[in-house]
């Protein structure tokens, strides 16, 4: 599943192709991809068609194109979504759900095998210090957002009695942290994710958040080199940053810090990976 670094990679890869480009034609090939749009495919196509893209932006795993009328087209990649730059007129693939033909000679295909992703054209609103499209209105700022106050966020986390990992995964507290990066930042900060947040010091929670920023940036650096100029992609299953993981998916392998085998536990109906010695 694409997490924040992959989505940011896609945004960075996409931006040079779409910035300043007019959406000459917009076609939805599968209604499920616009299931959030009240007026369906016709409304989505009519909204975006003829508009010029004046920016790209992101919060958490929500990515959007800013249009010249101040509205936006949001793309959520879901479990398996990809955005591909194609030559205009390229036949849609089997999993192509929407096609944007650009006035600059490129086309953007939204491909999504499992169709958990979606596109949605909406107005934009102010939310937590930023203009965001309606779909991202209730999503908290993410760890890579400029100006994020890590200490204030640590104080906010500490008001919760929930397990630290559960708080990290709560998109209303901080957005864009999925299971993989939650485990990685907990390992880096030596925190057991099962600990209630109100039993962890603000200082330690702030360290946890800073480690999260570092882990996300490292993954972004690793992923940012993995697509060529005509191919913007997110591969749902194979992570190109796998090699840099210290905890996630490493059950039975020695902890890079102390050599104790990493253990896998069930948490929130998913697997958690941690070092039972370092993370107490």
Q: Which residue out of 159, 203, 270, 280 is catalytically annotated?
A: 270
Both tokens of 164, joined, read 């630290």
Among 51, 61, 84, 158, which one carries the catalytic annotation?
61
Alpha helices, DSSP H, located in the chain: 4-18, 40-48, 150-158, 164-169, 179-189, 202-223
Q: Identify residues 250-279 at the interface with Zn ion (CB under 5 A).
A: 255, 257-258, 260, 275, 277-278
Residues 71, 123: contact at Cβ < 8 Å? yes
Q: Determine the size of the site formed for Zn ion (CB under 5 A).
A: 7
Q: What secondary structure, in 3-state letters, does 142-167 show?
A: ECCCCCCCHHHHHHHHHCCCCEHHHH
270 catalytic, yes or no? yes
Cβ closer to Zn ion: 219 or 255? 255
Shortest Cβ 248–Zn ion spacing (Å): 14
The answer to the question of residue 186 lying near Zn ion (CB under 5 A) is no
210 included as an active-site residue: no
Locate 51 and state its tokens. Answer: 């508009």
Which region among 128-136, 210-218, 224-232, 247-255 touches Zn ion (by CB under 5 A)?
A: 247-255
Two structure tokens written together for 231:
């191919």
Least distance (Å) between residue 215 CB and Zn ion: 16
CA–CA gap between residue 48 and residue 121 (Å, rounded): 7
Q: Closest Cα to residue 106, out of 84, 91, 127, 128?
A: 84
Residue 273: CB minimum distance to Zn ion, A: 11
Pick the closer one to Zn ion by CB: 98 or 255: 255
**Residue 237 vs residues 2, 48, 78, 218: alpha-carbon distances, Å:** 8, 31, 12, 19
Q: How far is the CB of 254 from Zn ion (least distance, A)?
A: 8
Binding site for Zn ion (CB under 5 A): 255, 257-258, 260, 275, 277-278
Catalytic residues: 2-3, 61, 270
């Amino acid at each position: 599943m694409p997490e924040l670094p992959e989505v940011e990679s896609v945004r960075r890869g996409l931006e040079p192709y779409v910035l300043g480009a007019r959406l000459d034609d917009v076609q939805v090939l599968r209604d499920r991809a616009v299931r959030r749009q009240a007026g369906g495919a016709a409304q989505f196509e009519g909204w975006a068609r003829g508009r010029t893209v004046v920016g790209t932006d992101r919060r958490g795993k929500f990515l959007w194109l800013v249009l010249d009328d101040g509205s936006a087209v949001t793309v959520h990649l879901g479990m398996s979504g990809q955005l591909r730059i194609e030559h205009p007129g390229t036949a849609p693939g089997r999993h192509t759900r929407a096609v944007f033909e650009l006035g600059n000679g490129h086309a953007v295909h939204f491909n999504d095998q499992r169709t958990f992703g979606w596109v949605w054209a909406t107005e934009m609103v102010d939310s937590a210090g930023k203009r965001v499209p309606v779909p991202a209105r209730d999503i908290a700022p993410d760890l890579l957002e400029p100006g994020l106050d890590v200490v204030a966020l640590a104080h906010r986390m500490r008001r919760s009695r929930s397990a630290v990992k559960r708080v990290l995964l709560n998109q209303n507290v901080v957005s864009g942290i999925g299971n993989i990066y939650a485990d990685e930042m907990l390992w880096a900060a030596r925190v057991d994710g099962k600990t209630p947040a109100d039993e962890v010091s603000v200082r330690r929670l702030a360290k946890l958040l800073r480690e999260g920023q570092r882990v996300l940036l490292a993954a972004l650096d690793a992923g940012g080199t993995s697509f060529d100029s005509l191919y913007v992609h997110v591969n749902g299953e194979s992570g190109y940053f796998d090699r840099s993981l210290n905890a996630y998916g490493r059950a039975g392998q020695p902890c890079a810090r102390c050599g104790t085998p990493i253990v896998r536990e069930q948490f929130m109906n998913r697997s958690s990976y941690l070092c039972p010695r370092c993370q107490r």
